[in-house]
Structure 1
């Protein structure tokens, strides 16, 4: 398969070190800098020379550091939930580890048990996975460091104080902005802005990337609105209004896909109208934009005019007007509410039937056990750092193990050099605290770009904090590098190279590609089904079509992310991943063709021939089966139906890509 334009580089070294492009979260940077630097700085000023108070200040700063890493912004309720869950998990882990301090057998048992729990938590949710990782980290920290606090159960309290301090700063920041729903407003507005960029890109090579940006924006907006949907938020009129505006973006996105398929560039007025809508959503005081004159020259433009008028009427507070895709209820976000029982059942299903999950947990446990054995058997100065490195790098749901191991090693070496420079060149006290604040502020910016870059910032933060407690111990810096490299070596030698799944990425990716092809076939069936004869049932059918489209694009987006992570692996793994890229692009084009054809049929009052739709569905299903069986697609005569011509062309292209 040859790579299409816009495909990612197949150079695994380039993918390994290349930082992502992402906006800098300056608000989180300021919060993190203040939260981490102030507690230890205050302890230095009020009680200079008192090691017990300084140790207490360091623990409070570590608590603030934990919760700062967990705070990724977003809805206020979700931020508070993440901070509290992470802080409590870390405190429990520190207590469990402290109880095993000094007993090698107890330490191994507690750390391995924590590794099992941490690995299993990865199938529950992203928040549970992050909290479980902090639990594992601080089990290791508690079992390896004596902070000098007695009785032993006192150690977690400063961590919780640091978390409360960071949570208080977060509340103050939200209050200062004066807009409790600002993250949600920005997320919904970004969907409209992304669609405007897609319309600008019509007729240019950037159109595919622009459409993917729309998918990303919609995924993030829906995720954020779902996270904010609590019993209170469901009755909040501002939240309900934002959900209605997000749902109103769905027909705009579908119409934009159709216009892009038609290929004729639009006048700047239409994209600019979308940007004006975005500004009005983000700032409720801004006047609603003036809607352009309806353009019904093509089905795509007719659908776009209709959906723009709908969005404009919602901003003005008017009743919804007729559109191709009716909006959903104001209290819905197009995704079902997931109860705690359903999450538990889903997690249990993953554990019972998910062989990959148990293999990932097993790899983590084996690596942690080997790291603990190295820590016990060899006379290392601070061996707990080896286990820490293994725990962070080997977390099974955090992406490429190889990439994280290499990035962690390189980032730590560079970070330790920064930390050593601060410790050696700056006097102990406020100069080091200022440096600590600057480095801590860089963490939220770095983590969005590259894991190795994040390691470069967080490592000197930890080195400075521990150096303040162990003043003058320059061996700490040297041992930090050595222990990190030993931990990364354990990950690569024990947790990466020997496992068969490491060397069968093509088989793993093929299963995901086949699943996505099946999803596209299902979307085709839903999108081009004959409309219900009862007019009252048609809005529900249209909403089902939109929901299926969003689900399919989300699966495609997840598949792209998986392939891009795998591209950071060395050959032949990265080569196998790059080989699937053309098929992913082809499936995206099939999905675009289905969307535009469905809109064209709705605008033109045409009904797709269901026999022809069935043939296309069979062709996509056979494509999925061929991917799973590692065989060429069967010979199927694709329909020549005029309405379905674009879909037939793209399905044929997708099958040809696989055959080649």
Structure 2
């Protein structure tokens, strides 16, 4: 475990700093401009036409899409809008439930919340759509005056449509821009990795850089596979080119890990940094500099291979298609969907938590019957969205962001008159929102809170509604208390079973990656080796994400999750070793039995799978040294497993674990 993480678990003030730490982020100019226009222009049109209340729903529809937008290809973003907009609009029809006795309303919304939580476990986009529907339903129940409910549903769709139009304008002029940014970021990451290895940087620094690269690579391949699926088997020269570019970057990554010559690594770092600048600025490739000895290495050939592919976009129809065929992708999607239909215990538990908290939040109206009561269930629904990670962290972030956001909202009401002046403030905040959302959840809440207050203020009668800020703060605190008590503290706070399943799955994928080194026949490597490699890294990255989220929680969940950190780190190093070895050597026929034994050892099927491989038998053989290193790594991993289990029973665990 890193020094920072260890400190976060042992000193409360350090733990709080980790909880509120800001992630690095760049300014996504296109998203910022689109957010400002899609949120501010509808409400401005409402003011000019005298229908601010109806047009506010348009702004809310666009605001929801802006909050959930990620760096992904345009086709993926349009698909998300096509799913979220109609499902979110249907939520308004829950407003008819509000005409029933309130006990029936509470019961009905509890059932709806459970269904939303259960189905939302299928995936992030579906979770976003269903949460939007639940939010709009809550607003419709609280504000029956907006009936007939097909009207706000139509305005909501119009707001989402306006957002999609602005996205389409951007896509028309910058079709490749998301992929270009991804490639440039990967090249910069590879440059940092090569430079770190050339200077023998600390292992923790090198691992951090490597993890950033594998995370971005996984994102790129996931988007590529999704794009191929939506092609329905039709050929696409553009997707073939993207696939070849990503495979070229993966080849550079492997060659960098395989290289151990400082001079070559340093020269490669400078060349990769130069290429990153050219890619980001969309410039043609000038004549390459003389790289001396670097020109004849495996690393240099990988870099040259990438440049030949990337700057041949005009000839992309000549590039061979990727290893994963479209039919295979479709089959994979179908298999994934069938697997998703099986609800696991965690999905049912999360749905039950959401239903219980929504039930209590709606029940608070019996004691909190003001016209702002619905902010309490809104807080509960937003924070308990099925796919956003730690409930505890989001609850704390929500409260922090709301407190600060209310102060900004009150200041805006005091400084600017209601009307166009506040719309300008709204546009500025909307422009900041995409950047803030990248930095931290509390930052997104901090910016979004005054935006919602301003929208309410503009559409409410009277000269000003400053009191809404304090009301929102109180109801948010009530919602946060409901979440922490009934959504977190009363439930067992242990992650051991989930992390154990995730780590076993990762071990099996690493074993499959190792087995893919065996050639299909003496002259042909396994065509699935690249896919198996990505699957292994993706599994480890997913588990690391769960660990990082859980480490921010109070004991026992935080320290328990921290105990898994060295296991994931060791497994990632094994993946690196497999890639580095495979870049230089191939598995001979008489070595295949040892590869099988190693794979069984990695997967945990045969704890004694390394019995015949000991260090004194290496004798300078690169393969035997490689096999011995894998055995030693998993001996250490299993040792950490034993220490972790001992710690879970209340005994001391060494700081390194």
**Same fold, judged at TM 0.5 (above):** yes
Q: Does 1:482 align with 2:485?
A: no
Q: CA deviation at 1:391?
A: 0.9
Whole-angstrom CA distance in 2 between matches of 1:363 and 1:271 = 49
Q: Equivalent residue of 1:499, what SS?
A: coil
The 8 Å contact of residues 184 and 225 in structure 1, kept in 2 or not, is answered as: no
The 8 Å contact of residues 264 and 294 in structure 2, kept in 1 or not, is answered as: no
Whole-angstrom CA distance in 2 between matches of 1:516 and 1:286 = 40
- Taking the TM superposition and a 5 Å limit, the aligned residue runs for 1:198-597 are 198-202=193-197, 203-205=200-202, 206-229=205-228, 230-231=230-231, 235-259=235-259, 262=260, 264-266=262-264, 268-278=266-276, 286-287=284-285, 290=288, 302-315=297-310, 317=312, 329=322, 336-337=329-330, 341-349=334-342, 351=343, 354-470=344-460, 471=462, 472-500=464-492, 502=493, 504-527=494-517, 529=518, 531-535=519-523, 538-539=524-525, 541=526, 543-597=527-581
- Structure 1 pair 238/610, CA: closer, same or farther in 2 (3 Å)? closer
Q: CA deviation at 1:278?
A: 4.3
Q: Equivalent residue of 1:155, what SS?
A: helix
The 8 Å contact of residues 407 and 452 in structure 1, kept in 2 or not, is answered as: yes
Q: CA deviation at 1:13?
A: 2.0
Q: Equivalent residue of 2:264, what SS?
A: coil
Whole-angstrom CA distance in 1 between matches of 2:62 and 2:353 = 31
Q: Equivalent residue of 2:87, what SS?
A: helix
Q: Equivalent residue of 1:438, what SS?
A: helix
**What does the per-residue CA deviation read over 1:440-499, in whole Å, with 9 as the maximum and x for residues that have no partner?**
222211111111111111111111111222243443222211111111111111111111
- Taking the TM superposition and a 5 Å limit, the aligned residue runs for 1:160-171 are 160-171=157-168
Q: CA deviation at 1:267?
A: 5.1
The 8 Å contact of residues 122 and 396 in structure 1, kept in 2 or not, is answered as: yes
Q: CA deviation at 1:585?
A: 1.0
Q: 2:633 — aligned with what?
A: 650
- Structure 1 pair 124/460, CA: closer, same or farther in 2 (3 Å)? same
Q: 1:630 — aligned with what?
A: none
The 8 Å contact of residues 567 and 641 in structure 2, kept in 1 or not, is answered as: yes
Report which stretch shifted further, 80-89 or 551-560.
80-89
Whole-angstrom CA distance in 1 between matches of 2:311 and 2:430 = 44
The 8 Å contact of residues 247 and 328 in structure 1, kept in 2 or not, is answered as: no
Q: CA deviation at 1:425?
A: 2.9
The 8 Å contact of residues 135 and 381 in structure 2, kept in 1 or not, is answered as: yes
Q: CA deviation at 1:139?
A: 1.1
- Taking the TM superposition and a 5 Å limit, the aligned residue runs for 1:12-31 are 12-31=15-34
Whole-angstrom CA distance in 2 between matches of 1:393 and 1:55 = 26
Q: Equivalent residue of 1:609, what SS?
A: helix
Q: CA deviation at 1:89?
A: 1.8
- Structure 1 pair 552/415, CA: closer, same or farther in 2 (3 Å)? same
Whole-angstrom CA distance in 1 between matches of 2:246 and 2:306 = 9
Report which stretch shifted further, 326-335 or 650-659.
326-335
Alignment counterpart, residue 38 of structure 2, candidates 19, 31, 35: 35
Whole-angstrom CA distance in 1 between matches of 2:236 and 2:633 = 44
**What does the per-residue CA deviation read over 1:216-259, in whole Å, with 9 as the maximum and x for residues that have no partner?**
22112112323433328954433322222222223222212211
The 8 Å contact of residues 248 and 306 in structure 2, kept in 1 or not, is answered as: yes
**What does the per-residue CA deviation read over 1:262-282, in whole Å, with 9 as the maximum and x for residues that have no partner?**
364525432333344445655
Report which stretch shifted further, 59-68 or 308-317.
308-317
Q: 2:171 — aligned with what?
A: 174
Whole-angstrom CA distance in 2 between matches of 1:477 and 1:14 = 27
The 8 Å contact of residues 107 and 359 in structure 2, kept in 1 or not, is answered as: no
**What does the per-residue CA deviation read over 1:520-559, in whole Å, with 9 as the maximum and x for residues that have no partner?**
23322333x3x34442xx14x1x32222111111111111
Whole-angstrom CA distance in 1 between matches of 2:550 and 2:590 = 39
Supply the RMSD in Å over aligned alpha carbons.
3.2
Report which stretch shifted further, 398-407 or 60-69.
60-69
Whole-angstrom CA distance in 2 between matches of 1:365 and 1:388 = 13
Whole-angstrom CA distance in 2 between matches of 1:595 and 1:378 = 60
Q: Equivalent residue of 1:228, what SS?
A: helix
- Structure 1 pair 508/72, CA: closer, same or farther in 2 (3 Å)? closer
Whole-angstrom CA distance in 2 between matches of 1:521 and 1:233 = 30
Whole-angstrom CA distance in 2 between matches of 1:346 and 1:616 = 29
The 8 Å contact of residues 122 and 340 in structure 2, kept in 1 or not, is answered as: yes
Q: 2:646 — aligned with what?
A: none
- Structure 1 pair 405/317, CA: closer, same or farther in 2 (3 Å)? closer
Whole-angstrom CA distance in 2 between matches of 1:318 and 1:484 = 51
Q: TM-score when scaled to structure 1? A: 0.86
- Taking the TM superposition and a 5 Å limit, the aligned residue runs for 1:49-198 are 50=50, 53-98=51-96, 100-101=98-99, 103-146=101-144, 148-175=145-172, 178-198=173-193
The 8 Å contact of residues 127 and 386 in structure 2, kept in 1 or not, is answered as: no
Q: CA deviation at 1:34?
A: 1.7
Q: Equivalent residue of 2:211, what SS?
A: helix
Q: CA deviation at 1:140?
A: 0.9
The 8 Å contact of residues 75 and 184 in structure 1, kept in 2 or not, is answered as: yes
The 8 Å contact of residues 241 and 330 in structure 1, kept in 2 or not, is answered as: no
Q: CA deviation at 1:109?
A: 4.1
Tell me, which stretches of 5 or more residues in structure 2 are unaligned? Answer: 10-14, 644-657
Report which stretch shifted further, 190-199 or 335-344.
335-344
The 8 Å contact of residues 188 and 242 in structure 1, kept in 2 or not, is answered as: no
Q: TM-score when scaled to structure 2? A: 0.86
Q: 1:609 — aligned with what?
A: 591
Report which stretch shifted further, 585-594 or 304-313.
304-313
Q: CA deviation at 1:364?
A: 0.9
Whole-angstrom CA distance in 1 between matches of 2:311 and 2:155 = 51
**What does the per-residue CA deviation read over 1:319-363, in whole Å, with 9 as the maximum and x for residues that have no partner?**
99xxxxx975388599823677545412212x2xx1111111111
- Structure 1 pair 143/365, CA: closer, same or farther in 2 (3 Å)? same
The 8 Å contact of residues 600 and 606 in structure 2, kept in 1 or not, is answered as: no
Q: Equivalent residue of 2:438, what SS?
A: coil
The 8 Å contact of residues 277 and 288 in structure 1, kept in 2 or not, is answered as: no
- Structure 1 pair 599/237, CA: closer, same or farther in 2 (3 Å)? closer
Whole-angstrom CA distance in 2 between matches of 1:24 and 1:293 = 35
Q: CA deviation at 1:438?
A: 1.5
